[in-house]
Amino acid sequence: MFGIFPVAVLGLAFYVFMAAATSPWAWRSGWPAIRWTRLGSAVAGMVFVLYLIYTELITLNAICLWCTSVHVITFLLFALIVFGAAAGYGTSQASPRR
């Protein structure tokens, strides 16, 4: 990325962070900073995926099947987090089932 970090290192850091941010503890936490950070990270991940798809199609003129599978996983993660935020999961308003 811009000659500073390998894209794989950024992807690894993203998924390690998202594993913690989407853990059951993080979803049950009512702390708004976790919810907003999780949502912002998912949006940033999708923006980066769109940049990578552009790079594959326009600059490199080649599609990587491994990268495409990671892009699909990132999109699914993004969709789950956005729909979860819209439904109120991770807020004090949504009470967990007991």
**pLDDT tens string 3-24:** 677 888 889 999 999 999 999 9
Mean pLDDT, residues 37-66 taken together: 93
Q: Taking residues 58-79, report their average pLDDT.
A: 93
The CA distance from 43 to 91, in Å, is: 19
Percent of the chain with pLDDT over 70: 87
Q: What does the domain layout of the chain look like in residue ranges? A: 7-87
Residue for token digits 């004090």? 92
Per-residue model confidence (pLDDT) at position 27: 83
For 41-70, b where at least 16 C-beta lie within 10 A, e where not — what string? Answer: bbeebbebbeebeeebeeeeeeeeeebeeb
C-beta contacts of 16-23 below 8 A and 24+ residues apart: 17/41, 18/42, 18/45, 18/77, 22/77, 22/81
Q: Count CB neighbours of 9 within 10 A.
A: 11
